[in-house]
Amino acid sequence: VSVSFAGRLARLGERAGERGFAAVVVSPSPDLAYLTGYSPMPFERPTLLVVRPGLDPAMLVPELEEAPARSSPGGALLEVVTWSDGSDPYAAAAQILPASGTIAAGDRMWAAHLLGLQQALPGAIFQAASPLIGELRSVKDAGELDALRRAGGAADATFRELCRLSFLGRTEAEVASDVADLLVSNGHTRADFTIVASGPNSASPHHEPGQRRFEARDAVVLDFGGELDSYFSDTTRTVAVGEPPEGFDEIYGAVEGAQEAAFGAIHPGVPAEQIDRAARSVIEEAGFGDRFIHRTGHGIGLEVHEPPYIVEGNAAAVVAGNTFSIEPGVYVSGRYGVRIEDIVAVTADGAERFNLSTRELQVVE
């Protein structure tokens, strides 16, 4: 499936016009990669894509990067304008941006670049471009769904192999390094993150794996993901080293039930916060509501965390093509935690899981 950068640029220009923006300006970031396929390193020399309703898109690039900019996948669609070292790049940007009106600026633009633009364009008002671009990026096309599905499969294979490793007596850091290797050997281009949280550490959702050694009756939260064809996997399973700790089954059951309830609540047109409530109410009924200390999920695609966020207060409806995590958790300080996370896609009539690993409690040795 080939990507239509022309289509993405045109849709952004159209939406910007509809919402009253005079222009959208984007620097090197996943937004730029999404719109043009061009992903140079973000540096102090500004590269700025400018999309204006009704006009051809343009990109300001440092003179020394003209060749890669022109030969990038979307390069032929852009009017490439160069600036040279020693000249003022923001004055050059002002030539391809409107002098007044509202300009949407990408989230990942360095403050230094935005401040430079604001000084060069005192008559313009700058706003965040994330509502515009985030909405476009959150609806995945067939090629993007396929990449995310394959990334999910590679993460599932990683978990299967992980369950056969020995844990007892080894350190979290050792197992985390195994997870990174398995992510790659199962098809990821690179590992992105590997949370291995054992025993009391599992009560900290974003624990950094360290030198603690696994003990019998530890709960272990394994949350990992990698990049595959520019898209990410992200899955969590909680396992027990031997027999589960005291009182653990009840919490595990509540989280498993919450994960299932949230998945069942997904349907196009359903407000994101309603999916969060579906998970939360199961955990509240089990008596652990105050121990579910984070949102139910986040969108995923070219970034591990991106819109839509599955959180109270997000009343926007999910639509077919949205992809996000469903990851309820319960954390009991000093003892243990449980989180179960799958990536899902909203379909025309419900949802599809991209992670198919068993959600039954697995026992490791």
Q: Is there a cis peptide before residue 89, judged by omega within 30 degrees of 0?
A: no
Q: Of 10-18, 52-60, 116-124, 334-342, which part binds Zn ion (CB under 5 A)?
A: 334-342
For the bound state, the minimum distance from the C-beta of residue 38 to Zn ion, rounded and expressed in Å, comes to: 27
- Amino acid, single-letter form, for residue 89: P
Strand ranges in the chain using DSSP code E only, listed in sequence order: 23-26, 48-51, 58-62, 79-83, 101-105, 124-128, 190-198, 219-228, 231-232, 235-241, 297-299, 306-310, 323-326, 329-332, 336-339, 342-347, 350-353, 362-364
Cβ nearer to Zn ion, comparing 225 with 245:
225
Interface positions, 131-150, toward Zn ion (CB under 5 A): none
How far apart (Å, rounded) are the C-alpha atoms in residues 69 and 61?
7
Cα separation values, 24 from 47, 57, 98, 122, Å: 13, 10, 10, 16
Q: Of 53-61, 214-222, 228-236, 346-354, which part binds Zn ion (CB under 5 A)?
A: 228-236
For the bound state, the minimum distance from the C-beta of residue 245 to Zn ion, rounded and expressed in Å, comes to: 22
Angle between helices 89-96 and 111-120 (to 10 degrees): 60
What secondary structure does DSSP assign to 16-76, as a single string? Answer: HHHTT-SEEEE-TTHHHHHHHS--PPP-SS--EEEE-TTS--EEEEEGGGHHHHHHSTTGG
234 contacts Zn ion (rule: CB under 5 A):
yes
156 contacts Zn ion (rule: CB under 5 A):
no
Q: Of 32-40, 115-123, 140-148, 233-241, which part binds Zn ion (CB under 5 A)?
A: 233-241
Cβ neighbours of residue 7 under 8 Å, at least 6 residues apart? none
Q: Of 49-57, 83-91, 227-235, 347-355, which part binds Zn ion (CB under 5 A)?
A: 227-235
223 contacts Zn ion (rule: CB under 5 A):
yes
Q: Of 184-192, 269-277, 324-332, 357-365, which part binds Zn ion (CB under 5 A)?
A: 324-332
296 contacts Zn ion (rule: CB under 5 A):
no
Please tell me what DSSP assigns to residue 302.
Answer: S
Cβ nearer to Zn ion, comparing 218 with 234:
234
Q: What is the dihedral of CA 337, 340, 346, 349, to 10 degrees?
A: -110
For the bound state, the minimum distance from the C-beta of residue 296 to Zn ion, rounded and expressed in Å, comes to: 10
Q: Of 36-44, 67-75, 250-258, 338-346, which part binds Zn ion (CB under 5 A)?
A: 338-346
Cβ nearer to Zn ion, comparing 10 with 184:
184
Cβ nearer to Zn ion, comparing 60 with 326:
326
For the bound state, the minimum distance from the C-beta of residue 308 to Zn ion, rounded and expressed in Å, comes to: 13
For the bound state, the minimum distance from the C-beta of residue 298 to Zn ion, rounded and expressed in Å, comes to: 6
How far apart (Å, rounded) are the C-alpha atoms in residues 315 and 296?
14
Cβ nearer to Zn ion, comparing 133 with 222:
222
* 180 HSE (CA, 13 A, CB side): 13
Cβ nearer to Zn ion, comparing 144 with 306:
306
259 contacts Zn ion (rule: CB under 5 A):
no
Interface positions, 73-92, toward Zn ion (CB under 5 A): none
Cβ nearer to Zn ion, comparing 21 with 232:
232
Cβ nearer to Zn ion, comparing 47 with 233:
233
Number of residues that bind Zn ion (CB under 5 A): 5
Looking at 325, 328, 337, 344, which residue binds Zn ion (CB under 5 A)? 325
How far apart (Å, rounded) are the C-alpha atoms in residues 82 and 66?
7
Cα separation values, 93 from 24, 49, 59, 120, 166, Å: 12, 10, 9, 8, 57
Cβ nearer to Zn ion, comparing 29 with 323:
323
Q: Of 7-15, 37-45, 270-278, 318-326, which part binds Zn ion (CB under 5 A)?
A: 318-326
Residue pair 221/207 in contact (Cβ under 8 Å)? The answer is yes
Q: Which residues pair with 48 in a beta bridge?
A: 60
Cβ nearer to Zn ion, comparing 45 with 305:
305
Q: Which residues bind Zn ion (CB under 5 A)?
A: 223, 234, 236, 325, 341
